[in-house]
Amino acid sequence: MKPIQLVDLKNQYLAIKEEVDQAVISVLESSAFINGPEVKAFQSELESYLDVKHVIPCANGTDALQIALMALDVQPGDEVITPSFTYVATCEVVALLNAKPVFVDVYPDTFNLDVQDLERKITSKTKAIIPVHLYGQCANMEAILEVAKKHNLPIVEDTAQAIGSTYTFSNGDQKKAGTIGDIGCTSFFPSKNLGAFGDGGAIFTQSDELAAKLRMIANHGQSRRYYHDMIGVNSRLDSIQAAILRVKLRKLDEYNDARFNAAMFYSETLGKSENITPPFIADFSTHVFHQYTIKLHNVDREGLIEHLAGKGIPSNIYYPLPNHKQGAFAHVDDGSSLPITEQLGTEVLSLPIHTELSDEQLVYITNSILEFVEQ
Ligand SMILES: *Cc1c(COP(=O)(O)O)cnc(C)c1O
How many Å lie between the centroid of ligand 1 and the Cα of residue 186?
A: 7
In a domain, 1, yes or no: no
Domain that holds residue 340: 252-373
Same domain, 208 and 336: no
Domain count along the chain: 2
* Atom of ligand 1 minimally distant from the CA of 201: 7
In-domain check, residue 63: yes
Instruction: State which of 113, 158, 187, 319 you would mutate to test the pocket of ligand 1, scoring each by most atoms of that ligand within 8 A of its C-beta.
Output: 187
H helical segments located in 72-172: 89-96, 115-120, 141-150
Task: pLDDT tens for the chain, 375 residues: list them.
Answer: 999 999 999 999 999 999 999 999 999 999 999 989 999 999 999 999 999 999 999 999 999 999 999 999 999 999 999 999 999 999 999 999 999 999 999 999 999 999 999 999 999 999 999 999 999 999 999 999 999 999 999 999 999 999 999 999 999 999 999 999 999 999 999 999 999 999 999 999 999 999 999 999 999 999 899 999 999 999 999 999 999 999 999 999 999 999 999 999 999 999 999 999 999 999 999 999 999 999 999 999 999 999 999 999 999 999 999 999 999 999 998 888 999 999 999 999 999 999 999 999 999 999 999 999 988
- Is the CB of 90 within 6 Å of ligand 1? yes
Q: Does 369 share its domain with 299? A: yes
For residues 241 and 259, membership in a common domain is answered with no
161 close to ligand 1 (CB < 6 Angstrom): yes
Which residue has a Cα nearest atom 5 of ligand 1?
61
Q: Please check whether residue 3 lies inside any domain of the structure.
A: no
Q: How far is the CA of 58 from the centre of ligand 1 (A)?
A: 13
CATH number at residue 274: 3.90.1150.10
Q: 214 and 135 in one domain? A: yes
Do 216 and 256 lie in one domain? The reply is no
Residues 159 and 57 in one domain: yes
Residue 332 near residue 95 (C-beta atoms within 8 A): yes
- Say whether both 212 and 353 belong to one domain: no
142/203 same-domain check: yes
Nearest residue to 54 via CA among 221, 290, 213, 291 = 213
Instruction: Please work out whether the CB of residue 241 comes within 6 Å of at least one atom of ligand 1.
Output: no
Please tell me if the CB atom of residue 187 comes closer than 6 angstroms to any atom of ligand 1: yes
Same domain, 244 and 291: no
241 & 161 share domain: yes
- Domain edge (last residue) among 249, 284, 310: 249
The answer to whether 139 and 112 have CB atoms below 8 angstroms apart is yes
- Measured from the CA of 199, which atom of ligand 1 is nearest? 7
Same domain, 257 and 243: no
| Burial group, residue 123, by CB count within 10 angstroms (0-12, 13-18, 19+) | exposed
**Which of 219, 249, 279 is the last residue in one of the domains?**
249
The Cα–Cα gap between 347 and 350 comes to: 10
Q: Is this structure's pTM higher than 0.95?
A: yes
Q: Which DSSP letter does residue 344 get?
A: H
Residue 4 lies in a domain: no
Domain stop point among 201, 222, 249: 249
Of 179, 71, 64, nearest to 133 (Cα)?
179
What are the residues whose beta carbons fall under 8 Å from the beta carbon of 351, sequence distance 6 or more? 266, 292, 293, 294, 315, 365, 369
Looking at the domain assignment, is residue 291 inside a domain? Answer: yes
**Quick one: 236 and 294 in the same domain?**
no
| Residue of 85, 87, 199, 233 best suited for mutating to test ligand 1, as the one with most atoms within 8 Å of CB | 87
Q: Tell me, using a 6 A CB cutoff, whether residue 294 lines ligand 1.
A: no
Predicted pLDDT at 205: 98
Contact present, 297 and 349 (Cβ < 8 Å): no
